[in-house]
Amino acid sequence: MKDRAKSSHDKKRPSGWGGTYLMVICFCFGLLGGYLILGSPRAADHHEVLKSLDNTVVNAAAANKKWSTRRELFAPKAKQTLTATAGSPVLPQNVALGQKPPAKGEVSSELAAALKQQQSDKSEQKVAAQEAASEQKEELMKAQQSDKTEQKAVAADTRTQQAASAVTGGTADATKGAATTTATTTAAAGANTGGSAQAGATFVKGATTTQAAQATTAATTTTTAAATTAAAQAGGAAAPPKAKQYVFPDNQNWPITPVKEKMPGNSVHTLFTSNGSPYQNIQARIMVGTYHMVRKMPGGERMVALTRILHRTTPDEVMDEIPTFIAQPLQPECDKWCWFPVADRANAVQQWIDAAEKDPSLVKAPWLLMLETDYVWMKPLPDPGDAYDRSVPGWSFGFDYIAPSIPIIVKLLKEKCPDCDPKTVPNSGPAPVMARFSDFKAATPIWEDLSKWIETHEEAKKQLGWVREMYAWDIGVASNKLNIRNEPPPQSPLISQPPHDRVIGNASMFHYTWGTLYKHDLKEKEFWIFDKRAYTAYEDMLKLPAIPMPPEWKEGIMLQDGLSVTKVLHDTVSAMLRQMNEAIKVLPDLTAEVAAKKAAGKLK
């Protein structure tokens, strides 16, 4: 006390200082007492949240939850209780979507549960709003596209008629003159595929030519937009669009093809899709070349036609060599480069189906065989049987890297077809598939719808990977209960995939989806390689280079994964490459022809 009294800072306090202390202490005690008795300003809100949460638990026990959005399908919420068993902890949807829950200890467990529920609800509402906005934007873009296309179709009417005339048997010069094409949102108006005299000499007589779709096909896609505009001008509301149907229980009663005249029941019309990039055109030229080689073999007479479905905004360099139908792409940027051009495949096939129903002459056989560009024909297909007999099954190929039993596929199947058994989903894909026109017509709507949906959901893309649209096709097949027999190698009459498959087995084609690398040791660099990804150059598309053959086989060679290269596998790979080189020998050099077209402004 003495030291304190001597301090230079010790000043005489005012006489009322003790009273002020007393008033402050009393005020604090009063405020604390009121807080405890009346509750905090937010206590009422917290009680309401917890009360509504309790009601949610009761309601959830009384009724089954319906899926509100597909996003919720990935992370279905458990019935919201405030406790969880050790075996099945309660994880609200926001946690499954990657949002961080409140940290432990920050708030009480009851309040944490309430906050999680609120965040989950907000997340669902946000996702629903985003999806609604996305759908509205897509419809608007379609309407705008339809208007533009309709105008183009009218302007190109003369060229369309010329192309149609060429398809039905015009001269080589007339066919060449019809090379300019006009694409619409449902089909491309005519494209020349009869080709020049040079191309005509390369291909076997009887190969199909591109069918010109009529300009009136644009009217179908503009119906909704036109109706909406008319209603708006009249001051009334447009009628809501019909819900699109994806499952067709009566598909077995549909006509086998839109062609009224009966065609040979065991004849086959081959189709494949492409975006016209150098990468795919190199493969396509080789595949079509080997197709024409095997047509000359016994049984080749059943292979009556081939059509490329090109999803591209402009004609490409091989239009005159490969019979082509042009479809309007969903991703115009894929004309040059894009991450996943296959996302356009289902929509392009749907455009071809729509066009064929308007013009049945596009369909050349009751069996349709859907392929990809990276196939090599080794022999004709075996006799598939009579397509007009519905008991005769189509064919698909069982890929061992497709797993249709994974949860996301089971859930998507149940959404489209609640009574379908997940075990009926094939582990195939849209290629290779041989099926009737009616089968493709039934499966393609789901294939197209789910392909689009998967591309807009990152979690689905991550789970399903590069083969994601193959799963969409499989769900379409299972939902519509199509009669397509799915077989793996070596039983399958469709394809073999070396070096994964060591022999051709019963297959008619090879599929070179994997690269083949020869090594002496895994730690060393390969001493021979064949990989389709190395063939992407524009110049190689025009003048195909010969593919280097593997060196002579000897013991000790291994693949990139360490598996030994047996003599049988070596001979299988050699046979595939030899067939590819035989086709390359007879394919023309397109360099001069393409340069002339560019100079004339016919190609960009």
| Amino acid in the structure at residue 411 | K
Q: Count Cα neighbours of 462 within 13 Å in the Cβ-side half-sphere.
A: 4
- Give the model's pLDDT for residue 570: 98
Instruction: Kindly state the helix (H) or strand (E) to which residue 158 belongs, with its residue range.
Output: helix 157-167
Residue 450 lies in a domain: yes
**Which residue has 């189709």 as its token pair?**
271
In a domain, residue 87? The reply is no
Same domain? 431 vs 577: no
Q: Specify whether 447 is located in the same domain as 520.
A: no
Q: Which residues form the domain of 426? A: 268-494
| 307 and 330 share one domain | yes
Residue 408 sits in a domain of what CATH number? 3.90.550.10
Residue 551 lies in a domain: yes
**Contact yes or no for 534/400 (Cβ under 8 A):** no
pLDDT of residue 538: 97
Please check whether residues 447 and 513 belong to one and the same domain.
Answer: no
The pLDDT of residue 43 is 41
Q: Are 317 and 542 in contact (CB under 8 A)?
A: yes
- In a domain? residue 435: yes
Q: Are 78 and 90 in contact (CB under 8 A)?
A: yes
| 358 and 414 assigned to the same domain | yes
**Would you mind telling me the total number of residues written for the chain in this entry?**
604
Q: Do 520 and 549 lie in a common domain?
A: yes
Amino acid residing at 569 = L
Query: Quick one: 593 and 514 in the same domain?
Result: yes
Residues 358 and 273 in one domain: yes
Domain count for the chain: 2
Structure tokens at 572: 């299988």
Of 494, 519, 542, the residue at which a domain comes to its end is 494
Same domain, 483 and 391: yes
Whether residues 450 and 332 fall in one domain? yes
Cα R_g (the chain), whole angstroms: 33
CB proximity list for 203: less than 8 A, separation 6 or greater: 195, 288, 292, 321
DSSP string, 465-495: GGGHHHHHHHHHHHHTT--EEEE-TTT-SSE
Q: Which residues of the chain, if any, have pLDDT below 70?
A: 1-24, 26-243
Closest by CA position to 547, among listed 521, 519, 520, 512: 512
Instruction: Tell me the C-alpha distance between 104 and 197, whole Å.
Output: 78
Read off the tokens for 44: 């009422």
Tell me, yes or no, whether 200 lies in a domain.
Answer: no
Neighbouring C-beta atoms of residue 491, cutoff 10 Å? 11
Residues 534 and 395 reside in one and the same domain: no
Instruction: For residue 49, tell me if it sits in a domain.
Output: no
Residue 546 covered by a domain: yes
Alpha carbon distance 94, 92 (integer Å): 6
* C-alpha distance from residue 58 to each of 53, 78, 81, 93 (Å): 9, 13, 9, 19
> Is residue 122 one of the residues assigned to a domain?
no
Give the residue among 215, 196, 341 at the shortest CA–CA distance from 274: 341
Residue ending a domain, choose from 463, 494, 525: 494
The reported pLDDT for the residue numbered 292 is 98
Are the C-beta atoms of residues 262 and 559 closer than 8 Å to each other?
Answer: no
What is the C-alpha to C-alpha distance for residues 406 and 139, in angstroms, rounded to an integer?
Answer: 32
Q: Domain boundary residue among 450, 471, 494?
A: 494
397 with 529, same domain? no
